[in-house]
Structure 1
Amino acid sequence: MSNKFFSEGRWQEAIAQYKKFLEYQSGDAETYWNLSYCYRQLNRLDEYFSTLQQGIKLYPTDGRLHFSLIIDLRQNGRIQEAILSSDNATKYLPNDYTFKIIKYLTVPSIYENKGEINFYRQRYTQGLRDLIEQTSIKTTEEQHSALAGIGRLTNFYLSYQAQNDIDLQRQYGKLVNEIMAANYPQWVVPLSIPKLQPNNKIRVGYVSHYLHSYSGTLWLTGWLRYCDRSSFEIYCYYIGNEPDAITQQFQQYSNVFHHIPDNLSAACEQIIVDKLHILVFPEIGMNPQTMQMAGLRLAPVQCVAWGHPVTTGLPTIDYFLSSELMEPENAQDHYSEKLIRLPNIGVSYPKPYIPPVIKTRSDFGLPDDAVIYLCCQAPFKYLPQYDFIFAEIAHRVPQAKFVFLRGGLLQPRLKRAFAAIGLNSEDYCVFISIPERLDYLMINLLSDVYLDTFTWSGGNTTLEAIACNLPIVTCPGEFMRGRHSDSFLKMLGVTDTIAKNEAEYIEIAVKLGLDLAWRGTIAERMSQNHDRLFDDKACIVGLEAFYKQVCSKHFSSY
């Protein structure tokens, strides 16, 4: 009965049955995992964690219980518990490489203070050395365990520390490449370029876990839609499994479309069979299977684009396809790949459909007379050294309401920042959950100002805010990942709200909040210039010129 309710997604009823069942017998590891999953679905986190811990006590060698516990403890800001739990897992599962990676490379998803960033940076640096030193891939068993480990997680959170990651990424990239080479020696040898006869087309492949509606790949539809079909043949490899309307677009814009979900070797074999000239990963770093594939040599030329805007460190990735508007002068110092600066923002982003306003602020529990500052980034983009900015704005704009869409974990930090200048954060900060896309767009349309994050700016979120004509306050960072919004506004030709530093950021945010006329002028200018930014073709001309150039360089027969 418990399992029946579980399979039907009737979480409350399943919980009641599982608990009744566990009164009479201990249950197996699966029972505890299922029960914990029910709690997770209902966001009853304390019960979720305690159920996993009970299951681990009874079944200490069950990897899935350990893995779920550690990953979600970190996700929910309980980093110390996550580290202790990873130590515990390595004691019970000493030969499972997954838990070695977690033990040595875990960093928080959010930080309590700036000092923590440096502490965990040093811990990661030392941990990576220890992991590399302790990695043995001599036996088949070790090779398979290491392969499974790097197939379960990536080092995604490292790059949110706002530092140059090239050295650490190179070390990790070399490790991934060595593990992949040990498991698939046939797929790491250099490949010669298939010869191009006159009238032949360059075969370009795009492989991603996210060929559906996803922030890291949505822009790719533009590259494919406007592709020069007389010169290029497009192959797409969808290795995820959440097909939707955007997947249909990818299919429509491809000459050949392969859907090969969750099967690493089958996807690699297909790419090899297709004899591509160039293979492009829209992102590397968010999905473990993509990282594994990128650690192999599946095409003579391999590139990564800025779906995840950080160097891969992989010796098998030749080029990083970036944007001339986003990159600082010394940008090559941040990449292990050869940096290619494509025109403008580097991508052709389709203009989002924005519906008419059909909701009011009261539908979201927001006052009509408030100045609403939209703060819609993921919590890990908010670094603690910038928390004071919200309090400073509130100090000067008494009607301010900061609407956080995913920022629940930031509440203790914000409380401290506001208290430091004698304010109560609860008077100004609102935390709401927006599950539906329509509601998300409504919030954009009902807000007054969009506050961008420092060091890692909005990408998709900023582009959608621009489509809603919502004024953007941004301050470009040191690395490309902190300069997205800056480049969008420059391309739009509306640069008045780009700040040079934190003080100027506060000034602009305050002025937008208080000066209704200026705010209206900015919004109006944004609305008039959409065509400069969306569906840009110049970047595609640059991209295809690069593809042709790289082919002619690699084979004289072109």
Structure 2
Amino acid sequence: MDLDAEGVDGCLKLGELLAKLAEFQSAQFYYQQAIDRQPNTVTGYLKLGNIFLGQNRAEDAIAIYEKALNIHPNNSALLYQMALASRVNQNSEMADLYFGLAAEAQYQYETAIQFYHNILQTQLPTVEIYLRLGNCYQSLDQWFEAIQVYQIALRVFPNQVEFDLALISAWQSLGDTRIALQISELAVDRFPNQISVRFAKQSLLPILYDYSQEIAEYRQHFTEELVKLIEQTDLDNSEVKQQALTAIGTKTHFYLQYQGYDDLELQKQYGGFVHRIMKANYPEWTKPLLLPTLTANQKIKIGYISAHLTWHTVGLVFLGWLRDCDRSQFEIYCYYTGKETDLITNLFQLYSDQFYHIYGNLENIVEQISADQLHILVFLDVGMCPQITQIAGLRIAPIQCAAWGHPITTGLPTIDYFISAELLEPPRAQNHYSERLFCLPNLGINYAKPPLLEPQKTRYDFYLRKDTILYLSCQSLFKYLPDFDQILVAIAKQVKTAQFVFVAHWNAAITEKFQQRLKQSFAENNLNSKKYCTILPRLDKTDYLQLNRIADIGLDTIQFTGFLTTLDSLSCHLPIVTCEGEWMRSRQSAGILNRLGITETIAKNREDYIKIAIKLGLDVEWRLAIREKIKQNQWKLYEDKSCVPALENFYQQTIHNFNQISLIKGDFNN
């Protein structure tokens, strides 16, 4: 066997071979060598610990697993081996804990619940066990069971703020923001010095609104509480600044962008606050940086960071930037901060020169990025993951950019550029951003066309009536503001055989809330929502595309449109009705249709939207003509490589300007 003992893989293979030969001491040596060469390796720690465990040296095994868990706290294999070692060491309490943690890490929530309940019945309860038990119930969509756990925990630990925070989050997730707000107000009174409680109160927004006036009410609450939160947070106080760091790491203001308002000033307020918190905690990571020297033969180092380098809109949309990159000019670094991995994650790794998967540890991520000495760091999405927002509030590369994975200005003073696309932005779009706006040509993406599936399923397979005009509207339910109900009602009054099809939210309570709102809106107009509206369970990708194939018309949301969903629908030749709004997030589908040259279904306002939707429903010939036009022109949407050289030219020009004047200037759109 030809093994390279100098490399990590060689050390691991030698260790395995020696262990099979019962040469345990030599095997230990090579496993330790692997760890020394690559300190973040899971395999080395795991195999070394297993050697000790196999020799009944449980305490030595536990010591090894503990070291590894400090680096990889959620690794299910390490957690399970830790449980076995604890059992061998006759520590049943620790064994139950780690068996529960291992089950939770493997998404076996029912099993984890059994272990956690056993711990509560046989041992002294802890804050961690109650929180984990509640989290497992939440993961099973058993929200009221989770709430009951938190309420019991509050009686046991009345002075622990974590359970108030958990209750606030649970009630918000259930769609009952009023109760969440009441709990937050009581918690602020009980814990006046806890930033996390004030932050939880300030950031409370409904996932789904019952009526339009609610939007203004909660927006006012959000704005006023943000001002108070900023004023009351003394970042010169060491305890307060740490609390503030923890608070902003718990959630984002994700739902703010779905209200349909101009969020620039609020984003700048919050972005400035985040930056000050990060600077107070990590002053060494907020200083201006010099650009690493570039010699004639050196490549430009570009970093991409996201928690969504998976089968997710962000991962799917931006993968093409890496796939067709000019590797003779650029060196690609990827930093994946999410938990799950899949085929798309593997492709990001394949297209990277260096790929790091670091989950749950902000400091480790920042240290790695700093050590890599990038020229440019691109945040593919800011505003979806709280940890990414925290990191974006630092200065860890000389030039920092945000892409439109979350299509809203970051408001962060540490983000220099916002990368968007020409067809997605309105005139004078720079006024919507705190960053300098740069637009790529067309849609700005190099997206592979989804496979065109022949309809193998019929409407019957989805429990849909075959004698209807099927309007498919498959956006996330939180995108549907109450005003949209009236659009549906107006269409239903004219298209008597209309059937509006939606896809459920992952939380059944939100789906039920949406269903009840539709019921009321239709009833107010003497219509029965059950006749017109159907909410399907969540679908896998294949069924989702099949559904698009058998639908007649697609209805886009208005204040925050689809993007990937629109591309997928058009790949199935489905006519899409959309409305071109004021901000990029309300113009994405319009940009896609403009790229196709199909402007007939782009509405100027709500009234126009209704007219187009009705005409598509009643005029079969026109509907089929639009389908044919989509079919003929859809090649324009996919495999558009023009964005890649434009992006690379932007990187080169930005570095040139940085070197020239040490300030980032220059108009890259001309």
Bin the TM-score by the shorter chain. over 0.9
Q: Distance in 1 between matches of 2:413 and 2:579?
A: 33
In 2 relative to 1, CA 15–233 (structure 1 residues): closer, same or farther, beyond 3 Å? closer
Structure 1 residue 521 displacement after superposition: 2.1
| CA distance in 1: counterparts of 2:324 and 2:232, whole angstroms | 48
**Structure of greater relative contact order (alpha carbons < 8 Å, 6+ residues apart):** 1
Which TM-score applies when normalising by structure 1? 0.94
Identity percentage over the alignment?
Answer: 46
2: CA distance, partners of 1:23 / 1:265 = 37
Of 171-180 and 221-230, deviating more is: 221-230
Match of 2:260 in 1: 162
Corresponding residue number in structure 2 for 1:387 = 485
Counterparts of 1:375-454 in structure 2, within 5 Å, are: 375-406=473-504, 408=511, 409-454=513-558
Distance 1:199 1:186 in 2: 31
Separation (CA, whole Å) in 1 of partners of 2:164 and 2:456 = 45
**2:471, 2:554 within 8 Å by CA — same for their partners in 1?**
yes
- The 1:39–1:238 alpha-carbon spacing in structure 2 relative to 1, beyond 3 Å, is closer
Partners of 2:155 and 2:607 in 1: CA distance = 52
Quickly say closer, same or farther: Cα 1:173–1:368, change in 2 above 3 A: same
Aligned AA (1:428): Y
Q: CA RMSD in A?
A: 2.5
- How far off is 1:542 after superposition? 1.9
- Secondary structure in 2 aligned to 1:481? helix
Equivalent in the alignment of 2:170: 72
Query: How far is 1:330 from its partner?
Result: 2.4
Q: Which residue of 1 aligns with 2:444?
A: 346
Seen in structure 2, the aligned counterparts of structure 1 residues 444 and 26 have a Cα distance that, compared at 3 Å, is: farther
| Cα offset, 1:298, TM superposition | 0.7
State the partner residue of 1:286. Answer: 384
**1:289 aligned partner, one-letter code:** Q
Distance 1:345 1:94, change over 3 A: same
Please give the secondary structure, in 2, of the residue aligned with 1:219.
Answer: helix
Q: 1:94 to 1:510 in 2, by over 3 A?
A: same
Q: Tell me the secondary structure at the aligned position of residue 612 of structure 2.
A: helix
Pairwise CA distance, 1:29: 4.5
Aligned partner (choices 208, 227, 242) of residue 110 of structure 1: 208
Uncovered stretches (5+) of structure 2, i.e. residues with no partner: 1-91, 506-510, 663-670
Q: Tell me how far apart the structure 2 counterparts of residues 131 and 475 of structure 1 sit (CA, whole Å).
A: 36
Name stretches of at least 5 consecutive residues in structure 1 with no aligned partner: none
1:153 aligns with 2:251: yes
Q: Does 1:252 align with 2:356?
A: no
CA–CA separation in structure 1 for the residues paired with 2:304 and 2:379:
6
User: Do the aligned partners of residues 273 and 443 (structure 1) sit closer, same or farther apart at CA in structure 2, a change above 3 Å counting?
Assistant: same
The SS at the match of 1:195 is coil
Report deviation, 1:385: 2.0
Structure 2 counterpart of 1:463: 567
Q: Does structure 1 residue 368 correspond to structure 2 residue 466?
A: yes
Contact 2:234 2:240 in 1 (8 A): yes
For 1:302, which of 378, 400, 404 is the aligned residue? 400
Q: How does 1:487-506 map to 2 (within 5 A)?
A: 487-506=591-610
Q: Match for 1:519 among 595, 613, 623? A: 623
Aligned: 1:209 with 2:313 = no
Give the distance between the partners of 1:35 and 1:152, measured in 2 at CA: 18
Q: In 2, Cα distance between the equivalents of 1:229 and 1:373?
A: 45
In structure 2, what is the Cα distance between the partners aligned to 1:24 and 1:297?
A: 49
Q: Report if the CA contact (8 A) 2:100-2:116 is conserved.
A: no
Say which one has the larger Rg.
Answer: 2
**1:530 corresponds to which letter in structure 2?**
Q
Which letter maps to 1:425?
S
| AA matched with 2:647 | L
**Which residue in the other structure is 1:555 paired with?**
659
Q: Match for residue 650 of structure 2?
A: 546
Tell me the secondary structure at the aligned position of residue 398 of structure 1.
coil
In the alignment, the residues of structure 1 paired with residue 446 and residue 188 of structure 2 have an alpha-carbon distance, to the nearest angstrom, of 46
Give, in angstroms, the shift of residue 517 of structure 1. Answer: 2.7
Distance 1:64 1:351 in 2: 46
In structure 1, distance between residues paired with 2:161 and 2:268: 29
More helix as a share of residues: 2
Contact 1:377 1:406 in 2 (8 A): no
Count matched residues: 558
For 1:254 and 1:69, locate their aligned partners in 2 and report how far apart those are by CA, in whole Å: 41
Alignment of 1:61-100 (within 5 A): 61-100=159-198
Tell me the secondary structure at the aligned position of residue 325 of structure 1. helix
State the alpha-carbon separation in 2 of the partners of residues 108 and 556 from structure 1: 48
Conserved? CA contact 1:450–1:470, under 8 Å: yes
Alpha-carbon distance in structure 2 between the residues aligned to 1:242 and 1:15: 21
Distance in 1 between residues matched to 2:602 and 2:631, nearest whole Å: 17
Residue 236 of structure 2 corresponds to residue 132 of structure 1: no
The whole-number CA distance in structure 1 between the counterparts of 2:653 and 2:426 is 24
Measure how far apart 1:30 and its partner are. 5.0
Q: CA deviation at 1:10?
A: 6.7
- For the residues of structure 1 that align with 2:123 and 2:190, how far apart are their CA atoms? 24
Is the aligned partner of 1:43 residue 2:136?
no
Q: 2:411 matched to 1:313?
A: yes
Q: Residues of 1 paired with 2:137 and 2:375: CA distance? A: 48
Amino acid at match of 1:191: L
Match of 2:430 in 1: 332
